[in-house]
Amino acid sequence: MTLTEYEQSVLDGDDGPAAALCMRIVVEMAELLGAPGLIEISSAHIDGCLYHGDGGVEFAQRLVEDGAHVVVPTTLNVGALDLLNPSRVNADPHSYQMARRQMAAYETMGCTPTWTCAPYQAGHRPGLGEHVAWGESNAVAFANSVLGARTNRYGDFMDICCAVVARAPYVGLHTDEARLATVIVDTSAVSEKLKRADVFFPVLGSWFGKTLGGRIAVIDGLPPSTGEDQLKALGAAAATTGAVGLFHVAGITPEAPTVDAALGGRQAEDVIRLTPEAVRAARDELSTVARESIDAVALGSPHFSLEEFAQLEGLLPERRFEIPFYVCTGRGVLEQLDAEGRTGPLVDVGVEIIVDTCVVVTPILPSAGGTLMTNSGKFALYSPSNIGYDVAYGSLEDCVASALTGRVERDEAVWS
């Protein structure tokens, strides 16, 4: 593998021990992956700031002690604490202290404390063809697919190493060839009404990830009205059930003006026709319970956007919810809600807005367990194993209706 003069100098320690350590990790990872060299990156998004154990804290603090500092704009994923409302987190003292130390270490290294899994909603939006090093699976899928930036699925601690040296292995989704679709997903058998509904996209994503795994596919037949939040939901679920770092949507995503363009002019290796039966089966797999009582509603994985809050505001009831109703979002979105005077009506009916983290990675929900209703494919897929809650999946409208009765309420008409 060939290194530039700059890369070799950093590896030799000219920029200090922390940069040398980070460059060594990046170079060795590149060698393992068979990369011919490194690529300069323009930004990073760090997933390693979320506390999973003391080793992650010690690694970050080692970098700080050795003088590490990011050299590209770098945002931070969710941490394990709601820093604006610490009392909402039910962590034991050791976990709380270590989580705070880990978050502080990344701030010390110069990362922007966005604390969101949706940095693209906080102004971090690299352009078409721009090379970046992003962690967090939904953010990776969004950056590659919706923005047309180029990043691999960087794991914890590799992401910060890339940010410190402004380099990443030139392999995988950084290259032209690896970004071409090899599979066509034909959605023509699915009703146009369903394909316009928000509730469809987490289901499509869940099916997509399980079916495609790590293959690159172009989805054909989605309506031109398909929006960012719908693509966000699709990518988040797909990256949870499969190793999806990039998907194309014909006529919508930037590298797929047509199916042929997404394929690079080549013939597809496979054409998969999505059937209504497969859609219903994927929908049903997102729930672990049928029609019964629920104990909480949780929205916002990935983090709720301003547009999604506007949809929720249009559904707010005149009386308070019967059960806890959590909405996870980034602090930047909350600041705008506050500035526009929109927070009060939400709180009045019982909405609890969680920032800096989310309820499936941090102990916020009651520890006794129960059933959680959500419109998030990612919440639905993670909740049983992460927090021990059963799940009922439904639309945003279903979630609001169910929170008023404490039982699962679903409108089945859109699925018929």
| DSSP state string for 356-379 | SS-TTTSS-S-TT-EEEEES-HHH
* Closest-CA residue to 184 (of 218, 207, 221): 218
Q: How far apart are CA 372 and CA 208, in angstroms?
A: 24
Q: How far apart are CA 327 and CA 85, in angstroms?
A: 14
Q: How far apart are CA 373 and CA 350, in angstroms?
A: 15
Higher-scoring residue by pLDDT: 264, 155: 264
What is the distance, to the nearest Å, from the Cα of residue 302 to the centroid of all Cα atoms in its chain?
5
- Quick one: pLDDT at residue 369? 86
The total number of residues written for the chain in this structure: 416
Q: pLDDT, tens digit, for every residue of 3-23?
A: 999 999 999 999 999 999 999
Contacts of 160 (CB under 8 A, 6+ apart): 22, 44, 46, 48, 60, 63, 68, 70, 74, 106, 109
Q: How far apart are CA 248 and CA 234, in angstroms?
A: 11
- Quick one: pLDDT at residue 269? 97
**Contact indicator for 374, 324 with CB cutoff of 8 Å:** no
- Quick one: pLDDT at residue 180? 98
Query: Residue 291 above 80 pLDDT?
Result: no
Q: How far apart are CA 7 and CA 14, in angstroms?
A: 10
From first CA to last CA, the distance across the chain in angstroms is 56
pTM value?
A: 0.96
* Closest-CA residue to 283 (of 206, 370, 217): 206
Strands 217-220, 248-249: pairing is: parallel
Q: How far apart are CA 103 and CA 160, in angstroms?
A: 13
Q: pLDDT, tens digit, for every residue of 328-358?
A: 999 999 999 999 999 999 999 999 999 999 9
- Using the 8-state DSSP alphabet, how is residue 349 labeled? T
- Separate counts of helices (H) and strands (E) for the chain: 16, 14
CATH 2.60.120.10 fits 287-415, yes or no: no
Backbone phi, then psi, for 392, in 5-degree steps? -120, 120
What stretches of 192-275 show up as alpha helix (H) in DSSP?
Answer: 192-195, 200-212, 228-241, 259-263
- In CATH, the number for domain 5-175 is 3.30.499.10
H/E stretch holding 328 reads strand 325-329
Strands 183-186, 38-40: pairing is: unpaired
What mean pLDDT is reported for the chain?
96
157-178: average pLDDT:
98
* Number of neighbouring beta carbons within 10 Å of residue 155: 11
Q: pLDDT, tens digit, for every residue of 19-57?
A: 999 999 999 999 999 999 999 999 999 999 999 999 999
Retrieve residue 46's tokens: 């760090």
